[in-house]
Chains A and B, each alone.
Chain A
Amino acid sequence: MRSTATEKMCAGIVAMAILVIVSEFPVVGEWRPRRFPDAARVTFSRDIAPIVFRSCAPCHHSGEAGPFPLVTYGDLKSHARQIADITSKRRMPPWLPSSDGLAMEEDSHLSEEQIAKFQKWVTDGTPEGDAAELPPAPKFASGWQLGQPDVILQASSAFTIPASGTDVYWNFIFREPTQSSRFVKAIEIRPGDKRLVHHANLLVDRAESARREEKTPGSGFAGMELQIESESFDPDGHFLFWKPGSAPVVEPPGLALRLDPGNDLVLNTHLQPSGKPESIQPTMGIYFTHEPATKFPVLLQLENDRALDIPAGEANFMVSDQFTLPVEVQLLAIYPHAHYLCQEMAAIARFPDGGEKILIHIPRWDLNWQAVFRLAQPERLPSGTTIVMRYRYDNSARNSSNPNTPPQRVKAGNRAVDEMAHLWLQVLPETPTAGERDPRMVLQEALARHHIENNPGDFAAHYNLAAMLLARGATQEAVEQYQAALELRAGDATAENALGGALLAVQRLGEAVAHLSIAAKARPDYFDAHYNLGIALATSENFSAAAQEFATAVKLRPNDANAEANLGSAFAAMGEIPKAMKHLNRALELDPENRLAKENLQTLRGAAGKP
Chain B
Amino acid sequence: MMQQRLRAAGLVLFWLAVAGALSAGKVALQTIPREFAEDLDGKPVDPIASSRGALTVLVFIRTDCPISNRYAPEIQRLSQEFRKQAKFWLIYPERAESPLRIREHGEEFHYTMPALRDVHHSLVTRAEATITPEAAVFERSGKLIYHGRIDNWYEELGRSRAKPTTHELEDAIRKTVAGETISAAHANAVGCYISDLK
Interface residues of A (CB under 8 A from B): 67-68, 77-82, 85-86, 89, 91-92, 94, 163-164, 166-167, 195, 273-276, 340, 366, 400-403, 405, 416
Contact = CB atoms under 8 A, between A and B. Distances in A.
Nearest to A83: B196
A275 B156 contact: no
Contacts of B66: 67-68, 195, 274
Contacts of B110: 163, 276
B72 A276 contact: yes
A274 B69 contact: yes
Contacts of B161: 400-402
Interface in B18-38: none
Interface string B147-188: 000000001111111110100000000000000000000000
B196 A405 contact: no
Contact of B163 (A79, A82, A405): A405
Nearest to A74: B96
Given A91-B159, A366-B159, A275 B64 contact: no
A274 B70 contact: yes
Given A82-B192, A89-B157, A275-B69, A340 B74 contact: no
Nearest to A78: B196
B197 interface: yes
B64 A77 contact: no
Nearest to B109: A276
Contacts of A164: 70, 72-74
A91 B156 contact: yes
B196 A166 contact: no
B187 to A, nearest CB: 15
B157 A82 contact: yes
9 contacts: A78-B197, A79-B192, A92-B157, A164-B74, A166-B162, A275-B69, A275-B72, A402-B162, A416-B162
Contact of A82 (B74, B108, B155, B196): B196
Contacts of B14: none
A86 B74 CA distance: 24
Contact of B73 (A79, A163, A401): A163
B162 A340 contact: yes
The main secondary structure of chain B at its interface with chain A is mixed
B72 A86 contact: no
A94 B160 CA distance: 15
B77 to A, nearest CB: 9
Nearest to A90: B158
Contact of B108 (A273, A276, A400, A402): A276
B157 A85 contact: yes
B155 to A, nearest CB: 4
Given A79-B196, A81-B196, A403 B157 contact: no
A343 to B, nearest CB: 12
A86 B158 CA distance: 7
B159 A401 contact: yes
A524 B70 CA distance: 46
A68 B64 contact: yes
A275 B109 contact: yes
A163 B109 CA distance: 9
Contacts of A91: 156-159
B73 A275 contact: yes
Nearest to A68: B64
B104 to A, nearest CB: 12
Given A68-B66, A82-B193, A89 B156 contact: yes
Interface of B: 64-66, 69-74, 94, 108-110, 155-163, 165, 192-193, 195-197
Contacts of A166: 162-163
A392 to B, nearest CB: 17
B155 A400 contact: yes
Nearest to A87: B157
Contacts of B108: 276
A89 B70 CA distance: 21
A170 B33 CA distance: 53
Contacts of A78: 64, 94, 196-197
Contacts of B70: 164, 273-275
Given A81-B193, A275-B73, A276-B72, A67 B158 contact: no
A81 B195 contact: yes
B188 to A, nearest CB: 12
A89, A275, A276 — most chain B CB neighbours (10 Å): A275
A543 B65 CA distance: 71
Please list the 3 inter-chain residue pairs (A to B) with the smallest Cβ-Cβ separation, ordered nearest first. Answer: A91-B158, A67-B66, A164-B73
Contacts of B109: 163, 275-276
Given A82-B157, A276-B108, A403-B162, A163 B195 contact: no
Contacts of A400: 155, 159-161
| From A78, A94, A340, residue with most partner B Cβ within 10 Å | A78
Contacts of A195: 66
Nearest to A67: B66
Nearest to A77: B196
Contacts of B165: 405
Contacts of A416: 162
Contact of B158 (A80, A92, A273): A92
Contacts of B192: 79, 82
A92 B156 CA distance: 12
B172 to A, nearest CB: 21
Nearest to A163: B73
A86 B157 contact: yes
A93 to B, nearest CB: 10
B148 to A, nearest CB: 17
A400 B73 CA distance: 22
A340 B161 CA distance: 10
A458 to B, nearest CB: 29
A92 B159 CA distance: 11
A541 to B, nearest CB: 62
Contacts of A276: 69, 72, 108-110
Contacts of A167: 162
Contacts of A77: 196
A166 B161 CA distance: 9
A445 to B, nearest CB: 40
A397 to B, nearest CB: 8
A164 B74 CA distance: 8
A164 B77 CA distance: 11
Contacts of A275: 69-73, 109
B65 to A, nearest CB: 8
Nearest to B165: A405
Nearest to B108: A276
Contacts of B72: 163-164, 275-276
Nearest to B152: A400
Given A82-B193, A85-B193, A276-B108, 5 more contacts: A68-B65, A81-B193, A274-B70, A275-B69, A402-B161
A146 B193 CA distance: 38
B114 to A, nearest CB: 19
